[in-house]
A and B are shown apart, each in its own frame.
Chain A
Amino acid sequence: MTRMTGPIAVIAAPTVSRGKPFVYQRHQPPESPPRVVLSTIPSDAHTWNLLFLHLLLEEQGWEVTNLGACVPVDTLVTESAARPPDLIVVSTVNGHGAEEAPALARAVRAVPALVRVPLVIGGKLDTEGSVDPDAHPALTEAGFDAVLIGPNAVPRLLALLDSLSQRGHGRAYADAVR
């Protein structure tokens, strides 16, 4: 499923703004597209991963709210709760994901409106280079539906996007992420 890229083609203007996220203007799509909030953990400054995932998600027809670098958990929770998205993607590569992301997941899950929103994490989650998705059970225990790491991470995310948009927004996500 390839849809139009939208105006990120012209990477113009700031793509994120402090506190308030900048959402790319899209040409009015035929039906309202599924929405994803893209974030990272508070300590992680890397953005090439976010830029890559932003483009990828848009190319798949998703409307992306990219919260940028070093996102405070409060910002993520407030932005997501204001308009619950169909998916939350957390990307982190600095090696602190295993340490810092469980608290993020608990904070998201503590908000009633976000209890059932599919929440996935991926990237480089520890400092040892683990690529086994089962290496961090604490992440799923804390509320992540899927841990996408290793060579298969991006294909698994694409498969998840497909099943989420086929099943309708946010429904049956538990099946979708498996």
Chain B
Amino acid sequence: MPSADPARGSATPRPGPAHGGAFHRFMADAARSGTLVVQPRMGFADPARMRAGLLATRGAAATTVGTLTLDSFTRVGDYAAAARAAAQGHPLNGYPLVSMPVATTTGLLDGVHGEDFPVQVRHGSARPGRIVEALIGAGLDATEGGPVSYCLPYGRTSLATSVRAWREACRTLAALRVSGVEPHLESFGGCMLGQLCPPSLLIALSVLEGMFFRQHGLRSVSLSYAQQTSAEQDEEAVHALRALAADHLPDTSWHVVVYAYMGVYPETRTGALALVADAARLAVRTGAARLIVKTAAEAARIPSVAENVTALETATNAARSVRRTAPPPSTGVEEEARALVEAVLGLHDDLGQALIRAFARGYLDVPFCLHPDNAGRTRSVISEQGRLEWSRTGSLPLGPTAAVHSSRRLTSSGLMYALQHVKTRYDAPAVSLARAS
């Protein structure tokens, strides 16, 4: 099977392969040795705390890479509000990269970030220009996003604006290759709104964004997949993602990154850690190279450094207990994902234009997404078997049989029931345990 080894194909088609690029190199080495790399979603406004968080991530009993998760003001481009809050010592939900003096960022990274511990910037901005400039300015070479996945879930910026901004951002990042640094970009397409999006659409979006990155000059990318409601369906999905990536990303170094569940999270510590452990098992069984964890504080607040370390180590321990396995019997996830990708590719040679047209026609349509550029004609349901299925396919190019057509009206309690499916399952044992003692 075509390998997900990031080293493969990294002898780039352009003159002179890029030898630098801390994140790219680290992932290539880890994939070669088959070690699962684990990574937090961590960000604090206070630079000292941010540095302590990175040091603790590096020191965890796990193979780790570091993260600067940026705050919401920075994500929406309100750099003044981020600067004001930081200057007043107010807490934020992430590190305000753009508003901080470069020296503050290089200072907090000094002696922490390097070949043996690369740091990636995770944000959630449909207009990432300033963020990309700031991360390059701070000596970093890896980030995350995508024209669709950092647009639809992250605000009201139009898809067309996001496509333009992401094209520019990709080119800025890709320009690092001239100086011998191989920049790395991860698609958030395998997550979208975090929950209730059937796997085939997540796979298609991840692959299409990876292709968009490649079209605009990047040669080291990762494709994401967020754990959903059924372990078996998720395994099938990650294998499908790898198969599509192998076909659609030639001359590109790529790997798969699994996200621990991104929807409403268990409240109990036991439930939360069991869920991240299952995500780690999913990653190993499917040959994914990297896992982004969630912590026991997820349901309530921004996690502490210690809670992040516990999550990283819990995941690593769980990963040790399993090994890579063959894909489960197909239920058609790969075929559906291929149909979506091919329909989009048929719309325009320029992937950005193809994506815009696909959303306008409803070929791509994310269930429950309120963004004005999403058609809003699809709907999903969690089946009796706990699998995430289409209940309405709208204009998705999937053929008439893909959905169990449902005329059930959406109610607040019905929505809540679906949103809490995973949380309920993982919290239940912990709650009954507490009652018993």
Which residues from chain A sit less than 8 Å from chain B, CB to CB?
Answer: 5, 8-18, 42-45, 47-48, 50-53, 55-56, 59, 66, 68-71, 94-96, 99-100, 124, 126-129
Q: How far is the CB of B427 from chain A (nearest CB, A)?
A: 15
**CB < 8 Å neighbour of B370 from A9, A68, A99:** A68
The reply to whether A128 and B370 form a contact with Cβ atoms under 8 Å apart is no
The reply to whether A14 and B193 form a contact with Cβ atoms under 8 Å apart is no
The reply to whether A96 and B93 form a contact with Cβ atoms under 8 Å apart is yes
Name the A residues within 8 Å of B72 (CB-CB): 43-45, 94-96
With A11-B376, A43-B72, A51-B415 already in contact, the answer to whether A129 and B410 are too (CB < 8 A) is no
How many residues of B are counted as interface, with CB atoms below 8 angstroms from the partner's CB atoms? Answer: 44
**CB < 8 Å neighbour of A5 from B91, B372, B373, B409:** B409
The reply to whether A12 and B377 form a contact with Cβ atoms under 8 Å apart is yes
Name the A residues within 8 Å of B409 (CB-CB): 5, 8-10
The reply to whether B370 and A51 form a contact with Cβ atoms under 8 Å apart is yes
The reply to whether B415 and A55 form a contact with Cβ atoms under 8 Å apart is yes
CB<8 Å pairs between A and B, sample of 17:
A8-B410, A16-B371, A42-B76, A43-B73, A43-B78, A48-B195, A50-B370, A52-B416, A53-B412, A66-B370, A69-B156, A70-B154, A71-B156, A94-B72, A96-B93, A128-B301, A129-B301
Q: Which of B46-103 contact A (CB under 8 A)?
A: 71-73, 75-76, 78, 81, 85, 90-93
With A5-B411, A51-B368, A69-B370 already in contact, the answer to whether A43 and B376 are too (CB < 8 A) is no
The reply to whether A70 and B193 form a contact with Cβ atoms under 8 Å apart is no
The reply to whether B302 and A9 form a contact with Cβ atoms under 8 Å apart is no
Which residues from chain B sit less than 8 Å from chain A, CB to CB?
Answer: 71-73, 75-76, 78, 81, 85, 90-93, 124, 153-156, 158, 193-195, 264, 297, 300-302, 368-377, 379, 409-412, 415-416, 419
5 closest cross-chain pairs (CB), A and B: A9-B409, A129-B301, A70-B155, A55-B412, A43-B72
The reply to whether B374 and A14 form a contact with Cβ atoms under 8 Å apart is yes
**CB < 8 Å neighbour of B73 from A16, A48, A56, A96:** A96
The reply to whether B371 and A69 form a contact with Cβ atoms under 8 Å apart is yes
Instruction: State in angstroms the CA–CA spacing of A71 and B381 once bound together.
Output: 29
Q: How far is the CB of B232 from chain A (nearest CB, A)?
A: 25
Q: How far is the CB of B300 from chain A (nearest CB, A)?
A: 4
- Please give me the residue from chain A that is nearest to B88 by CB atom: A99
**CB < 8 Å neighbour of B154 from A16, A69, A129:** A69
- Please give me the residue from chain A that is nearest to B84 by CB atom: A99
- Please give me the residue from chain B that is nearest to A48 by CB atom: B419
The reply to whether A14 and B93 form a contact with Cβ atoms under 8 Å apart is no
- Please give me the residue from chain A that is nearest to B154 by CB atom: A45
The reply to whether B155 and A69 form a contact with Cβ atoms under 8 Å apart is yes
Name the A residues within 8 Å of B154 (CB-CB): 45, 69-70
Name the B residues within 8 Å of A5 (CB-CB): 409-411
**CB < 8 Å neighbour of A47 from B92, B193, B297:** B193
| Most chain B CB neighbours (cut-off 10 Å) among A55, A59, A69 | A69
- Please give me the residue from chain A that is nearest to B367 by CB atom: A11
The reply to whether A95 and B85 form a contact with Cβ atoms under 8 Å apart is no
